[in-house]
Structure 1
Amino acid sequence: MREVVRGLLAAAASLVAMAGVAAVGLLLLGMDQVGSSTAAVVALAVGGSVDLQAAAVGGLPVALRGGLSGIPLGVSLAGAVVLGWLLLRRREGLVVRGAVAGVAFAGTLGTVSFWARGKVGLPGGIGAPRGCASAALSGAGSPAGMREALPGGLGTGPSGGLSRPLPGGLGIWPSAGAHQPFPGGLGAGFPTQGGLPTPSHLEAAFSVAAGPTVAGALAFALVVVAACWLIARFPSVAPTLRALGWPLACLAAVCLVAAGILGGATAAGAVLLLLPQLLPAAVLTGLGVPWHLGTTGLLSCAPDTSFPATHWIAAVVLLGCGIAVALHRRHPPLRQAAELAVIVGGVSTAVALLTRFSVDLSVSVFGFSVPVLGARLAANPLLALVAGAAGGAVAGLAGSLLVRAISVSSRAWTR
């Protein structure tokens, strides 16, 4: 009976941690209706999806329908760490605690998914991806807009200059008539002059499907329980994970503070929700793993997904991990290289699988449904496994040799 209670407490604490991180992130982003939005973000964190419906208020008879799926790994990681830490406090009864926690976790999130419903006002209209459809949209109501389109569907602003891109090649066209921002700092608005007329206000209703949320929550809990069992079964892995924990936690804190100082509360909120994706994605990019962004629909284009050079980020992070492990565990260099190859390769593969984003939008006009935008962002998990394992092996070997060289040099100077 004690193990059952401990399993229930572990599931409850994990959900509280996920809800706390999600709520703080949304507050920093400036979102309204934090309660229902937090429930939606927690559902997304276990693999659920959000359905969106928006109807014009006092404007054209246009309705927007869409779906969003993507995992905010900051929320997922908070829940996994709390759940795993509580399950591993005692090795006896791990299976019972894990089974109870998994059932309670999935059942609670199934209930939460029914509460994750609400409405949010989107002032100004619907934002179009910059460099994809701004000129095309303008051209629907203005021949000049079509003349401003570049080959390949890349749009220009009214002055003929190229639009300033956002990260990932997406942006907002600075057309006449200032665009109102979405809650959370996302840009919005079709061109209001010389283009399509847009409603003055959109009221979007969002909801979360219960079935995928429950299935994702159960899979989430099973993965955490399986990881806990492997750690308990192979105790030599635990010291390596503990050695990596503190440096990564310090790095996360530095990234949050830097984002808050340089980008304000909005940047800090985004980093809080997405840091476990942003940092490994930068490392994978530095290791040569490309990220593919494909679009379909009326707003489809070939967006620029190039990233600045991140080789130094990958080198600093991986070498820092190798040094941290070498300082805590004086294994032979080849053994440490093998351990870090397995860990970094596994983490890289998991990040490539989990850092997948998809959005589908369609517009209904007078009963006709028109696909507007479908976007998919993904990386090759097999390539991520190979690159991560190679990078981890090199970092483990280099870190071990560097720590040994410094240790020998220190002893020579103290003689």
Structure 2
Amino acid sequence: MRQPTTRAAGPPGAVRGWLDALAVVLAGLVAMAAVAALGLWLAGAGDLPDGGFPSVLAATLALAVGGSVLLDGGAGGFAAVGAGISAMPLGVSVAGAVVMAEVFLRQLRFRAVAGGGELLGRIGRTVLLWLLALVLLTLGARHSFAVPLGDDLAQSISGALGLTPEVGFHADGPTTVGIGGAWLLLVFAATFAVSRRAPLPRALVRHQLAVRPPAFALWLVLLAYLAIGAVTGVLTALAHGDARRTLAVVLLALPDLAWPAFGIGLGAEWHGRLVGALGLPVPQPLSAVLRTSDGGQATIGLGTLAEHDARSWWLLPIAAVLLLAAAFLAARRSPRTVRLRQHAVRFALATAVTVLLVGLWTRVDADYGLSVLGVGLGQGGLGDLLGAVLGGNGPPAGLGGGSLTLRPVLWTAVPLAAGWGLLTGTLGALLATRVRHRGEATGTGRVPKGGAAG
């Protein structure tokens, strides 16, 4: 008898795997592009000439995954531009990360355990397609604008010489692709650390109770800061005007402002400097601290912020309360068999890692200058640069020089976070001893006398 032919299962399974990976990549790009486009439009980038908006959008996505954008141009030996931006618009980053994680997890739903080979295959295919998408993104993240010089004498000289200076920007390919790939791997690592829906290989299942409760609790702390920041931003937009540009900051850079507030509330510090106009509204105390009289480096901490606005002291109790609540939640989600010392150490490590990542994500380096015959023009303001690349009111007009730097002092921030985590982790575990932990039975489980358990 002729045996029925069976179709090989390999190719369809392989095709399905690539389609799943493509779905993750496309979902992330669409989410990031939607948030970035709306934020840029609110900031005024929709008025950019010469069809520059798509290129600015691509450059913003490149920055959102950790890439950098370089400015160059000029008019031969007459004028020259030197600039660069390395700053993550974390509002765009978080939108893409959350959507990609959700799509990836939905493909693995209803599974408690997954093979290591399968997970590595899924992650590998997704990363490969993601790197290809980043290459295409860097090709689209380039544009040039004509720059009218902002000085009457310079305008006259350039007109007489028939020179039209131009400034262009382009995403740095190696940086964008390299760091962008690492960004996606970090998204996957955070997904498996935080979500209980993420299936793990059998060899790692026994470690999940040590990692997931504190990781999930700290993720909720970061979300709480975003919620507080969003409400504050909306109220500011309604009360003080300039609503479009304020909402643009909320969409593009809310985590860049809200998450350092968490670290500062714990006593951490950032060093920074602002020269020129920032272009988009930021909290007044932060701007006042960054803009020193001599243009030197400033220290951003609780004390320096409170010198300009006493309400900044509220960052301390807010951080303490939220961290204690997170420690309590982490202890409640852990088995009662976990010792108090173990829970405190785990929560301390999770808090330290969280502050470390916040510090790395909120680093800002933006610097540019336009010189004519070797002489720098007046301070045009960093807002001019952001206007061309990150969404402003038009191309750089009167582009001069400006810079914004913001760097965390990690060697003090991380130990401070660990100390706070150890303290709140201990208190949270003590509070959790009086409540039922996740997975515990509500009764004693004893069989009543004279009958069977019902």
TM value normalised by structure 1: 0.68
Q: Is the 8 A contact 1:15 1:105 kept in 2?
A: no
Change beyond 3 A, Cα 1:374–1:244: closer
Query: Which AA in structure 2 matches 1:49?
Result: S
* Secondary structure class of the residue paired with 2:405: strand
Change beyond 3 A, Cα 1:284–1:34: same
* Secondary structure class of the residue paired with 2:342: helix
Q: Is the 8 A contact 1:68 1:358 kept in 2?
A: yes
User: Shift of residue 71 of structure 1?
Assistant: 1.5
Q: Is the 8 A contact 1:87 1:94 kept in 2?
A: no
Rounded Cα–Cα distance in structure 2 between residues aligned with 1:340 and 1:120: 50
* Secondary structure class of the residue paired with 2:168: strand
Counterpart in 1 of 2:245?
266
Rounded Cα–Cα distance in structure 2 between residues aligned with 1:300 and 1:124: 26
Q: Percent same amino acid at aligned positions?
A: 32
Pick from 99, 114, 138 the counterpart of residue 124 of structure 2: 99
The answer to whether residue 366 in structure 2 is matched with residue 359 in structure 1 is: yes
The answer to whether residue 308 in structure 2 is matched with residue 307 in structure 1 is: no
RMSD value, Cα: 3.6
User: Shift of residue 74 of structure 1?
Assistant: 2.2
Rounded Cα–Cα distance in structure 1 between residues aligned with 2:404 and 2:248: 23
Q: Is the 8 A contact 2:324 2:428 kept in 1?
A: yes
Q: Which runs of structure 2 are paired with 1:120-139 in the superposition (5 Å)?
A: none
Q: Is the 8 A contact 1:94 1:229 kept in 2?
A: no
Rounded Cα–Cα distance in structure 2 between residues aligned with 1:54 and 1:322: 52
Rounded Cα–Cα distance in structure 1 between residues aligned with 2:250 and 2:148: 25
Cα deviation digits, residues 80-110 of structure 1 (max 9, x gap): 2333344445334110111111111111011
Query: Which AA in structure 1 matches 2:426?
Result: L
The answer to whether residue 315 in structure 2 is matched with residue 337 in structure 1 is: no
Larger of the two Rg values belongs to structure? 2
Rounded Cα–Cα distance in structure 2 between residues aligned with 1:340 and 1:277: 24
Rounded Cα–Cα distance in structure 1 between residues aligned with 2:128 and 2:420: 37
- The number of aligned residues is 333
Change beyond 3 A, Cα 1:85–1:277: same
Q: Gaps spanning 5+ residues in structure 2: where?
A: 1-13, 47-51, 109-113, 157-163, 195-199, 238-242, 277-292, 307-312, 378-399, 437-454
Pick from 250, 257, 265 the counterpart of residue 278 of structure 1: 257
Change beyond 3 A, Cα 1:268–1:333: farther
Rounded Cα–Cα distance in structure 2 between residues aligned with 1:281 and 1:214: 26
User: Shift of residue 384 of structure 1?
Assistant: 2.2
Counterpart in 1 of 2:396?
none
TM value normalised by structure 2: 0.63
Query: Which AA in structure 1 matches 2:180?
Result: A
Change beyond 3 A, Cα 1:249–1:34: farther
Cα deviation digits, residues 161-216 of structure 1 (max 9, x gap): xxxxxxxxxxxxxxxxxxxxxxxxxxxxxxx8xxx878699975322122221112
Structure 1 window deviating more from structure 2 (104-113 vs 305-314): it is 305-314
Rounded Cα–Cα distance in structure 2 between residues aligned with 1:384 and 1:98: 32
User: Shift of residue 283 of structure 1?
Assistant: 1.9
Q: Is the 8 A contact 1:14 1:80 kept in 2?
A: yes
Q: Which runs of structure 2 are paired with 1:192-271 in the superposition (5 Å)?
A: 204-228=167-191, 232=200, 233=204, 234-236=207-209, 237-245=211-219, 248-263=222-237, 264-271=243-250
Pick from 97, 115, 126 the counterpart of residue 80 of structure 1: 97
Change beyond 3 A, Cα 1:83–1:275: same
Q: Is the 8 A contact 1:286 1:313 kept in 2?
A: yes
Counterpart in 1 of 2:3?
none
Q: Gaps spanning 5+ residues in structure 1: where?
A: 126-191, 408-415
The answer to whether residue 451 in structure 2 is matched with residue 384 in structure 1 is: no
User: Shift of residue 240 of structure 1?
Assistant: 4.3
Counterpart in 2 of 1:44?
63
Pick from 350, 356, 362 the counterpart of residue 349 of structure 1: 356
